[in-house]
Amino acid sequence: MLSNFVDAFDKVHPDLVDLLIRLDLLPTENIGFSEANLARIIFLAIELADPDEQALLVSRIIPEEEMAAERLRGPEVQDTSHRIVLDPEERKAAFLKDPSEPKPDSNGNDCIICTESAHIQAPCRCNYCLSCYREALRMGLRSQAEFPPKCCQPFDEEAVALARYPALVHLFRQMKEEADTPIPDRVYCHDHNCAAFIPPDRRGQCLLCTCITCINCCAEAHEGQPCAEGDAEEDVWAAMDANQSVNCPECGIMVQLFEACNHMTCLCGAQFCYICGERWKLCACPQYGGFDEMVPMKDRPGVKPPQFRHRRRRVEGPTSQQVGSGQLKLPQLRPNPGEERRTPINTASNIPRVIRPLSTTQVRREESFQRRRERRGHMEVMEAAMRAVDELRENTRALRPPRARFIGGHPAALNRPEPQGHDAQLRQAMTAASRRRRGPPRHDAPRPPLRPAAMNLPLQDPELDSVRRALTFAVGYHPPQFMTEIHGPPRPPHRHHHRHHQDHHP
């Protein structure tokens, strides 16, 4: 803890350190040795300073955008032979115009946007001036929904390099690595103040902060401990049906319609019907409305999220030492004339970056993807097993004999018409005579080892046993275990007693 405080204190300008000492505001162990607390104390000291000194210090504070632009001019960013990651402030500064940048020469054509002299010709042979070309890149590098930048065709890394700004090349590589990762395999930093994308080869280690995220549960890393299962298990499909959220059949991402037609276009490029989930124009669903005919999630096609998941445990609100840990940063001051060497020991501009090679190790990427595929495959097997149990219950319910009701004191099947007239009396008489001829049933006759009466399952099947127990507990019905329970035991053949016959008929 003390080492972290020393590292944070080395980033403070000496003029601010003198102010803290004069006002006796140096942090103590009770307050907490953290960079956020130190920044909070510095701003408090500036508020308590004299008005003249306060105005001077505020005028010397360097804005975050200016510091980000200064970091982009560093040698690590200017070199495009390796891969680095830009933070949010640097991504904003990458699209700002540098006044010190010399104006490039014209290529003899006019810009297709502003009709001024063009400086760049895109791969599709369209001409742009430098500012309009960078604006076109900015439109495609703002988010994953608009990536990649495009004109008549999508831009590649060589097209981005035509902008003559290395920071845009690094940003394009950063966003392309995220776009190439399947959506179910993407992991982001668990710190809500960072939330940066973590490449698969980093094994959960964030590139912008020092946090490590578990790649299985996406929470804070917990080495040697199992992932927390959450407070309770929730049905994701039922929640999606209740909120009228659907899945993209191509990538499985959740999509919700607020207005307009039922033609859905996903971030992955898939076009499908919001009502049924089939490919667009391959169904008979209405183009507008029809929400009362929504196909439930269990019947929708394509890739779907897991049906059941454990709800994340609620995390208590941040303490007073954690509030603003990601927002408050140590202010940096411009040096006074003649005091250029009076600077902090460590500044934000010389923080070491994580430098990676251009091509990540393919083996590590495949191993990471394979582990995640196995995890998703396990979930699919569990869902298939649950569906099989449901089908088994339906088939067993279909084999249930019809319920009986009492007609005239005797049970009769529900699906059998009531006895009427002479035919029914004759049938009953014939049945009684047949029973007298057969004699009493013999229970000592051996039963053949027949198979169960459902889906040709083995004699001892755990799924069938679980279904029997569930049905017995729910409705008090005992499903048949063997065919002999339905048809009864085999009857011995009837034999006439000739001696008895001769005694009565001499």
Residue 15 has a pLDDT of: 85
Separation between Cα atoms, residue 46 and residue 69, nearest integer Å: 25
Phi-psi region of 356 (alpha: psi -120 to 50; beta: other; left: phi over 0): beta
Separation between Cα atoms, residue 255 and residue 40, nearest integer Å: 41
What's the average pLDDT block by block, 10 residues per block, for the chain (506 residues)?
A: 59 84 76 72 88 88 84 87 88 82 85 91 91 90 86 91 90 90 83 85 85 84 73 74 88 83 86 92 89 89 78 43 52 80 61 74 59 67 73 70 48 47 66 68 54 46 60 52 45 50 46
Q: What three-state secondary structure class fits 135?
A: helix
User: Which residues, in sequence order, are CB contacts of 32 under 8 Å at separation 6+?
Assistant: 321
Question: Which one, of 383, 344, 464, lies nearest residue 12 by Cα?
Answer: 344
User: Which residues, in sequence order, are CB contacts of 2 under 8 Å at separation 6+?
Assistant: 33
Angle (CA) 308 309 313, round 5°: 150
Q: For the chain, report the end-to-end CA distance as a whole number of angstroms.
A: 117
User: Which residues, in sequence order, are CB contacts of 403 under 8 Å at separation 6+?
Assistant: 414
Cβ proximity of 396 and 454 under 8 Å: yes
Q: What three-state secondary structure class fits 245?
A: strand
Range list of H helices, 330-482: 362-398, 421-438, 462-475
Separation between Cα atoms, residue 55 and residue 46, nearest integer Å: 9
- Copy the structure tokens of residue 171: 């940003």
DSSP state of 355: -
- Copy the structure tokens of residue 188: 């982001």
Q: 491: buried, middle or exposed (CB in 10 Å: 19+, 13-18, 0-12)?
A: exposed
Q: Strands 308-310 and 233-235: what pairing?
A: antiparallel
Q: Which residues, in sequence order, are bridge partners of residue 279?
A: 272
Q: For residues 405, 410, 415 and 421, what is the CA-based torsion angle, rounded to 10 degrees?
A: -130
**Structural domain boundaries in the chain:** 2-61, 66-225+326-332+343-360, 234-310, 361-399+452-487
Q: What three-state secondary structure class fits 66?
A: helix
